[in-house]
Amino acid sequence: MSSRLRMPQLRRIGAFAAAALFAAAVAQSQPDASPNISNETSSSAGYSSSQSGLTQTQLAEFVLPEAPTPSGSASSSGGSGGGQYAAGEKHGVMHGWAFEAGGGFNAPISNSVTYGGQFTVGGGLKFNKYLSTLIEYQFLDDKLPGSLIAEAGANGGYAHIWSFTIDPVIDLMPKATNDVYVTGGGGFYRKVTSFTDPEEEEYCYYFCEVGTVNAVVGHFSSNQGGINFGAGFQHRVGGVSGDGNMRLFAEARYVDVFSPAVMGSANGLGVTSVAADTKIIPVSVGVRF
C-alpha cells in the first residue's frame, strides 16, 4: 500500500520538474529586450535633448520677434510740430543767435534832409521764438534841401547819419510761414552835414586827364542819441514746409535823431539855420536768420 502511495507523488514531482525545465528553455530562447529598451531610451533621450535645444532657439527667434526699431523721422520730429521746432531750432547750430542785413530808401519828415538811401546790418541773441535783440549798425545817406544849400551859398550838399542801436524784435506769429513783427530801440547817432562845390581834379591812370568832382567846402557835425520804432512783414523760406530759420522781410521804421539846432556858418560859407531833430522813415527789405 505504501508503494501505491509513493507512485503518484513521484509522478507529481516529475511533472513539476519537467514544467520548470520547459519554462527555463522558453525564457532562454527569447531575445534580451532590456538592453534594446535602454538603448532606445537613451537615444530617444538624446534626440529629445537636441531637439529641445533647437526648439528654444526657434521660439526665441520666431515666437517672440524683436521689438521694432523707431524710425528716424519719428525720433527727430517728436511726433508733433512742437518736436519738429525743437529739433530744427533748439538743437540747431545757429540756435540762440540772430543776424540780419537789409537796405532801401529814406523818406524825410523834417526839413533838414530829403530823400536818400540806407543799409542796415545787425546781430544779436534769440531768447525764444518770440523775442530777439539785435545790435544794429545803420548808415543813411540823404540829400540836403535846396533852400539849405542856397543859404550856405554852395552848389550841393548831403547829410550822412550812422548809428549803433539796440533793437528788440518781437515776432507776433512765430510759427507761421508769413509773420508780422514789431521792433524798436535806441542808441548812438552821429550826423554830418556837408556842403559841396564842383572842383577840377586831375585823374591819372595810363594817362592823365582833368575832371570835375563835388568837393566838400564846408560841414558841421553832431553826436547825440536817437530812437527808432516800426513794424514789418517777413516770410520764412527753407526747411521742409517753409519752417526754416531764414526769413525775407520788408519793414518801415520811424527814426528820430536828437540833433541840435544849427544857426551859423560852416567853414566860412553863408549863415545857415537848421531846426533841431532829424526825422526820417527808412523803408528796408532784407534777410534774417
pLDDT tens by residue, 190-244: 999 999 999 888 778 788 888 888 899 999 999 999 999 999 999 988 765 556 7
28-32, 86-90, 157-161, 192-196: least confident range: 86-90
Task: With beta carbons less than 8 A apart as the criterion, state whether 87 and 245 touch.
Answer: no
pLDDT above 90 (res 283): yes
Count the Cβ atoms, other than its own, within 10 Å of residue 186: 17
Q: What is the pTM of this model?
A: 0.65
**pLDDT value, residue 108:** 93
Radius of gyration over alpha carbons of the chain, in Å?
52
**pLDDT value, residue 77:** 42
Q: In what helix (H) or strand (E) does residue 117 lie, and over which residues does it extend?
A: strand 116-126
For domain 94-288, give the fold.
Porin (2.40.160)
- From residue 132, give the alpha-carbon distance in Å to each of 75, 96, 171, 243: 29, 9, 8, 17
Of the two residues 72 and 171, the one the predictor is more confident about is 171
**pLDDT value, residue 197:** 93
**pLDDT value, residue 56:** 53
Average pLDDT over residues 26-50: 45
- From residue 108, give the alpha-carbon distance in Å to each of 211, 225, 272: 32, 18, 19
Distance CA 284, CA 253 (A): 9
Domain ranges of the chain: 2-63, 94-288
Query: Read out DSSP for 226-289?
Result: EEEEEEEEEEEESTTTS-SSEEEEEEEEEEEE-PPPEEEESTTS-EEEE-S-EEEEEEEEEEE-
Distance CA 196, CA 280 (A): 22
**pLDDT value, residue 15:** 59
